[in-house]
Amino acid sequence: MPQDRTRSGRTARDAAARDLKFQRLADDLRRGILAGDWSPGSKLPTESQLAQETGLSLTTVRRAFDELVQQGLVDRRQGAGSFVHAGRRDPRVRRTVGVLVPTTQLYYPRVLQGIEEGLSSAGASMQLSTYHYDETEEHRDVQFLLDSGVDGLLLVPTLQGLADPQGRVNSLMSLPVPTVLVERHVLDGGPGDRSEYVCSDHAGGAHDAVRYLHGLGHTRIALVARSANPTIAAVTMGFEAAIAELGLDPLEHLFALKDDWTDQRAGDFVDALLAEGTTAALVFGDREATILGRAIGRRGLHIPGDMALVSYDDETADLADVPLTAVAPPKYRVGRMAADILLRRLTEGDACPVHQIKLRPRIVVRASCGARGADPS
């Protein structure tokens, strides 16, 4: 019995010593925060860094951070670290969300509509910036939104053509306010990617388009696309996967820059497609598919009897001379869901799980598709 009392006393003293260590560290961090060593919104040292610097265990350091979080002095961000709380919010003040898009034309109006309606339904407002596909302007606009005091960010950043797209994403996830990417993610990010995003599954949309054409009897299916576009890598991936799964002969991918897409150029593509025995094509995007369709008509051929077309985007596909079957990304839903996720993160903090969401496009069937040899009328 005395031995049990001794062991019990030693355990109690050890527990008290551990409590004292985490309290001391919490007190030191609290004094530093209140003294302005770290400004509101700034990132604190990581738990691993503090453990190494102080010689304390990770468990002790984590308890110190937990104490500061409970006191409202520190905010934790999943995958980003711990930040000095930027100040308590007056509940009567509306949240403001910064939104950055490359353009407000064509693809993005429906995305922005979803964002705006999602924010307004929660009493939040949107501050919009457009960077016109200029990386320098993009970086400047992100900083401008942060300096404006936004509570969170919805970003459509530049990732295509970067030497280290994952590094760019990681830097965006480390910004001092919650950030959700819209229609952008690293294709091969793997399990180490902890970015938060809502995107259209462009690879899935292209995959479904190929399988749809194959189901109509087409076995010679080509991809015609402009190369200078952030979406084309995923579209190509989905196209190639479907061709391989179906055991079809891969045709040469025909690329053209957007500015080079003239009637003459489209005619050259039609000749190349016919020479390959092509009976159907997935064309990125609506404008290119419309011009290609006109070139087919000028050669006395018919859509879909001689050549079936599926357009990718569905912005103006229904206005073509022969209304185009189209892969339609869920633009509005992407925007709405991104807004909802950001607002949830602003409310729940680290209790909110990291969302990595891809919404599969649907195929809108119109007159431009059919089985080979189908009556064009």
Pairing assessment for the beta strands 221-225 and 254-255 based on DSSP bridges: parallel
**In this structure, how many other beta carbons lie within 10 angstroms of the beta carbon of residue 103?**
13
What is the reported pLDDT for 354?
A: 93
In a 3-state reduction of DSSP, which class is residue 311? strand
> DSSP secondary structure string, 283-313?
EESHHHHHHHHHHHHHTT--TTTT-EEEEES
Task: Tell me if 2-84 shares its fold with 202-330.
Answer: no
- The strand pairing partners of 255, in sequence order, are 225
- On the question of pLDDT at 18 being above 80, the answer is no
Q: What is the mean pLDDT of the chain?
A: 86
The amino acid that residue 117 corresponds to is E
- E-assigned strand segments in 85-172: 96-101, 125-130, 152-155
What is the reported pLDDT for 241?
A: 96
Higher-pLDDT residue of 242, 193? 242
What is the side-by-side strand order in the sheet with 96-101? 125-130, 96-101, 152-155, 179-182, 197-200, 356-359
Handedness of CA 232, 233, 239, 243 (dihedral sign): positive
Closest to 249 (Cα-Cα) out of 274, 278, 271, 224: 278
pLDDT range class, residue 253, cuts 50, 70, 90: low
CA pair distance 98, 103, nearest whole angstrom: 15
- The answer regarding whether domain 2-84 maps to CATH 1.10.287.3510 reads no
Domain layout of the chain by residue ranges: 2-84, 202-330
To the nearest 10 degrees (0 to 180), the angle between helices 108-121 and 331-348 is 40
Are the CB atoms for 202 and 234 separated by under 8 Å? Answer: yes
In a 3-state reduction of DSSP, which class is residue 128? strand
pLDDT range class, residue 10, cuts 50, 70, 90: very low
pLDDT tens digits for range 45-67: 888 888 888 888 888 888 888 88
What is the reported pLDDT for 371?
A: 54
Among 3.40.50.2300, 3.40.50.1220, 3.40.630.10, 2.60.210.10, what is the CATH number of 202-330? 3.40.50.2300
What is the reported pLDDT for 259?
A: 59
Closest to 218 (Cα-Cα) out of 252, 178, 248, 182: 248
Cα 105 to its chain centre, rounded Å, is: 18
- Work out the angle at residue 32's Cα, subtended by the Cα atoms of residues 26 and 33, and round it to the nearest 5 degrees: 90
Are the CB atoms for 182 and 111 separated by under 8 Å? Answer: yes
Are the CB atoms for 342 and 118 separated by under 8 Å? Answer: no
- On the question of pLDDT at 375 being above 70, the answer is no
Are the CB atoms for 225 and 236 separated by under 8 Å? Answer: yes
Question: pTM of the full predicted structure?
Answer: 0.73
pLDDT range class, residue 8, cuts 50, 70, 90: very low
Are the CB atoms for 165 and 193 separated by under 8 Å? Answer: no
Pairing assessment for the beta strands 197-200 and 221-225 based on DSSP bridges: unpaired
DSSP state of 264: H
Handedness of CA 248, 252, 257, 259 (dihedral sign): negative
What is the reported pLDDT for 1?
A: 46
pLDDT tens digits for range 197-237: 999 999 999 999 999 999 999 999 999 987 667 888 899 99
**Percentage with pLDDT > 70 across the chain:** 87
pLDDT tens digits for range 79-100: 778 888 765 444 444 789 999 9
**In this structure, how many other beta carbons lie within 10 angstroms of the beta carbon of residue 38?**
17
The amino acid that residue 89 corresponds to is R
pLDDT range class, residue 6, cuts 50, 70, 90: very low
